[in-house]
Every structure is written in C-alpha cells, then in structure tokens.
Structure 1
C-alpha cells in the first residue's frame, strides 16, 4: 500500500478555460484536416512515387493524431473538463468525438468512470475486451474493434432507455445519459454525412482527407490502453498509469499524455496536466513513489508489448474526490448536497 496521499492542488487548476477549450478544438480540427488536405495535394502532384509515399504516410499519421485529438475532446467533455457547464461540456465532447467513425463516446464514458474507480483491478471494464490479445499485432488489429463494439452496444442500450449496469455511476442523471446517447447517434450521422459529401465532390479527397486518417486513428487508438497502463501490475496511487513526457507526445496529445496525473486528478483539464506533473515533482511525490514515467517518444510504445491484466486488489480510493478536501465539499468546492444534484460526484449503485 502507498503511504503517500494525493497533495491538494490549487482549485484554479480544476477550472476549465474556455480559451484553452477553443484552442484545443481548433488545433484538433486543423491537425486532422490540414495534413489530410496536404496529403491529397501530394497525391495529385507530379512528385515521384518515392517522394509521394513517405510524404503521404507522414501526413496521414499526423491527420490521424488530429482525429484522435477530437476523440480526446470527447474524453474531456464527458469528464466535465472541457467547459464550465458540465452538460454543455459533455455535448461538445460527444459531438467532437463522433468525428471518429464507429466510436461512440457515451458508451466509453459509461465504462470510463469505472476504469478510474477500479484502475487495473478486477472491476476495471477496460481490461476484459482485450484480455485475450497477447501479441502486439493482435492488439493493433483487434483492440479498437473490440472496444468500439462494446461502446456501440452500450450507447444503443442507453439510447433505447436502458442504462447498462456498472458499479460506479457517471456524473450525469439517467435522463441526461439517454439524451446524450441519442445525440451521439445524431452527431455520428452528421459527421458521416460530411464525409460522404467530401467523397461525392471528389473521391480522391475522400480517400486522403477522410479514409486514410480514419484508418490511421484505428492504429493510434489501438495503442492507447496499453501505453497508458500496460506492464503495470500495481493498481496503487501514482503507480497505475504511465506519464509520457516527450514534448512530441505533449504536442500530439495536448497534455493528455500525462496519464498518471490524469488518474490522480481526473477533474483537471488535460492541458494543465504537464503543470500538475511539475507540481508533483516539486512536492516530492516522484521521490517518494517510483512513478512510471517514460521520456522517449518511441519508448512510450513499449507497453504495447507488455502484460495488461487486472490485479486482485490494491489501494481503494475514489479519484473523483478532492484530495484532503473537507468532507462537506466535492472536488470543485461545491457542497455535497449540490454536488449530488448536478451529478458531480460518482457513487456506487
């Protein structure tokens, strides 16, 4: 068991910034569409094939990371970290993440809160869709298919008015969950209609701007659970997730690469997690606990080859509670009665 507790951090770190949220959304869209469009232009150019292929490959990977960032906004939105109004935060996040064809954010959100509550433990719902995938190639090929099928099924159940049973509630009422699930299908149809229009105008643009980045994001996202938690058989505080501190990782993930900090402080927006990392270092956390940190970009993918399996039981703490906060307050200083009313704090069913 860890003897160290999560240091209490300044409340301002928890407050979403609308300017940063706008920057995140614009940056994600630009990283998706601009490299995709440039890839399309390279394909139409008279450059020799030996120059076209690597250029298109690099641009497609960048566009895939842009599309992945739109998915990260979904994650931030359903955490309530994107804008100050939690319901609006979720709606924006669901709209943004719906850009990723076949991915349903609400199905993810439902299990994701349980993933935070029971990280790497037997009740962590992230483990079981990929527990039989032991090789790197099977993980790359199958993990997103497995996860997306689960999320699609759960989102459909919610849209039909039946909330799948989990031990830990998400931070929204059941009525909100049903509404958000229905919006998820609507937003997904809107993005598919946009992509269909691009294909209709110019099928080659559709291939390079939409299809190839969509294929790339499947492999990028396939790595995610493993580079976040692979090789860590310890579910203790500050030992259950990787922090990938490469500057390139930070550029491509907008700060969400500091995953250990996110699990310790899930109410803090991703763009502030590098700052949280520095604060924890200054407070001596990294000296007291052997925190899993990987500084190299390519080395960050090593957990793709490592064991990912649940542990029996470790530290039991609620990550959504503000560390060292008075018993009468939630993570944003809201009285518990009000917190329950707005669904700001999860609780066991």
Structure 2
C-alpha cells in the first residue's frame, strides 16, 4: 500500500506555534454544536410560526446546511478535535452530531482515517467518490434532482435500515463479536455519496450490528425532535427538519464531497495536490461549506488542526508561498464548472 507522505510540522511552525494551533479549545467545539442546533431549531420554529410556505422553503434550505454542519462536526470529533476531553468529544460526536444524521462516530473514524492515510491513492476508500469526475452537466443535474426529490435519502435509508435489521436479528440471536471491533465499511454507506448517490459495501455481522446501533441512536434523536415539535408547534417543525434531511442536506453533502477531491491529482506523492480548498462566501458557508470545511487542502496537510483554525493555516501557507502548489478554487460554482467539463 502506498500511504501518502506526511509533512513534518516543523517545516512550517515552531514548537510553540504548533502546540497552540493543534490544541482543541474546551468551548469552541461545544459552541459550534450548539450553534448548529440553535440555527436549525430557530429556522424551523420561525417558519412554523409564520405559516408561510416561502418561509418553509427557506427553513428547509437553512436546516439542510446545519445538518451538513452536524456531519462536519462529527468529522471533527472523529479526529478528536471537538473537545480535549476524549469522553466528551466522543459523546458530542456520537449523540449530538452523528446520531442526528444517522452516522456512527466510531465506524466513521475507522473508515475516515484510512482515507487520510491513502488519500487519492488506489487504496483510498473514498476514491470512488472522485473517480467519476469530470462528468457532464446533464449527469450531475440528474443526481441533484434525485437529491432534491428525496430519492437519494430514501435509497440510503432503505439500505441502512436493511443492514440494521440484519444486525438486530444477530443481536437477538445472541451473536458475539470481538469487543471494540468495528467494521470499516459500517461507516460508509450513509454519510458519503457515490456516483449514483449511494455506496453499497458488503457489511459483515459486526458491521450490521454497528449499523443497528447507529439506527437506534438516529431514531432516538428523531423521537426527541418529534416530541419537542408536537409539544411546541405541532407537526410542522419536525416535518421541515425531516424535509431538510431528505433534500437539501443530500444536495449540500454531494457538492461538498465533489469539491473536496473531484478532479484533483490521483496517485501523486505530493500532499499539496490531494485535496481542494474552495473559497466560500456567506451563502456557501450557510449551505455547502459550514464550519470551515472548505479549507480541505489544509485539513489534509495538517489533520490535527481544529476546523476553526484552518483559515489561519491557509493564511500561513500563503505567506510562505505555498498557495501556488495547492489546488484552490475561487468558489463552488467554479468547482462545478470544472467537474462538469466532460462533453
């Protein structure tokens, strides 16, 4: 296997700078989690209170961006960057972020670290996400339509619940797996989108049981949200949350996945070429690029840096003349033009 070459931090930082930039804050991670929930609850609550269909559509657009934000913050927790206390970091990543969008922190962490180890190499488990590009505008348009009409969501959830049922049956039969074992592929089908909107790995019994637990947490969170919605405003807030999860979240997730690695260099041993940084205005930050996820090249160069410090790393690389060696896009529209150059 051809693991990617790591950059020694002392090429860019002295010891004190590196310690400061990689030390997770005790309050910023929890605040970002709270922010995602506050914005989501305010968006669906105000839209329900207004009774205006235009406000409902706006709420679905906003809440999809914060749902992607929760997925991004689970990614932070997978790197241990959401809080310096490991137990609190994992609780935030498992229950308050990952469970809301149907992902399992531990399985995702196992899978995702393989992606970092072999980024854009043949062994990269995410290579299938970038391999189909460039594609045609018509092809990407069809995928976006499937996302916005809920087809991607229902296809993913049907597969996820099918795996969960197998896992639940194994649990009821009393089957045992090695403690701490997590199937690498158990984290893949429900937080990443392949060319057809869905990855379909073979999941073993351990993986199916992991998926079952993940679905259990997902249903618990959905039940809490539904109960709160019914107690305060009726069905409307929860239905708006669910609509965002089924539509805009799926589209934003696709665009985010595309922007990170599509049409970057494959098989290169130069770590500056493995991922793309995309400049994001306020609309992009509210939708496809929450919580500094657009600084993806910097994240791959220094994956121990919390998301809120990636802009500082980007500026530092610029001062050292490294931007020319990186793949940097002026915006998400430019990325979509680049990846639909075929034909």
The two structures share one fold, judged by TM-score above 0.5: yes
Find out whether 1:212 has 2:216 as its counterpart: no
Give the equivalent residue in structure 2 for 1:118: 118
**Hey, what's the Cα distance between the residues in 2 that align with 1:117 and 1:221?**
22
Describe the SS at the equivalent of 1:190: helix
**Hey, what's the Cα distance between the residues in 2 that align with 1:306 and 1:100?**
35
Find out whether 1:189 has 2:219 as its counterpart: yes
Find out whether 1:257 has 2:294 as its counterpart: yes
How far residue 4 of structure 1 moved from its aligned partner, in angstroms, is 8.3
Give the equivalent residue in structure 1 for 2:257: 225
How far residue 294 of structure 1 moved from its aligned partner, in angstroms, is 1.7
CA 1:305/1:195 → structure 2, altered by over 3 Å: closer, same or farther?
farther
Find out whether 1:266 has 2:285 as its counterpart: no
Deviates more, 1:241-250 or 1:178-187: 178-187
Post-superposition Cα deviations, 1:196-244, rounded to whole Å, max 9, x if no partner, equal: 3246442223222x22221221221122221111111344311111112
Describe the SS at the equivalent of 2:40: helix
**Hey, what's the Cα distance between the residues in 1 that align with 2:115 and 2:242?**
30
| Contact 1:97 1:105 (8 Å CA) reproduced | no
Q: Map 1:69-218 to 2 at 5 A.
A: 69-128=69-128, 135-137=139-141, 139-140=143-144, 141=146, 161=177, 162-164=181-183, 184-198=214-228, 200-201=230-231, 202-208=234-240, 210-215=241-246, 216-218=248-250
Deviates more, 1:143-152 or 1:94-103: 143-152
2:331 to 293, 296, 300: 296
Deviates more, 1:103-112 or 1:68-77: 103-112
Unaligned ranges ≥5, structure 2: 186-206
CA 1:304/1:32 → structure 2, altered by over 3 Å: closer, same or farther?
farther
Find out whether 1:18 has 2:48 as its counterpart: no
When the two structures are superposed, what TM-score results if normalisation uses the length of structure 2?
0.70
How far residue 153 of structure 1 moved from its aligned partner, in angstroms, is 5.4
CA RMSD of aligned residues (A): 3.8
How far residue 259 of structure 1 moved from its aligned partner, in angstroms, is 0.4
Describe the SS at the equivalent of 1:103: coil
Aligned length: 286
**Hey, what's the Cα distance between the residues in 2 that align with 1:24 and 1:17?**
11
Unaligned ranges ≥5, structure 1: 46-51, 167-176, 308-349
| Contact 1:21 1:82 (8 Å CA) reproduced | yes
When the two structures are superposed, what TM-score results if normalisation uses the length of structure 1?
0.69
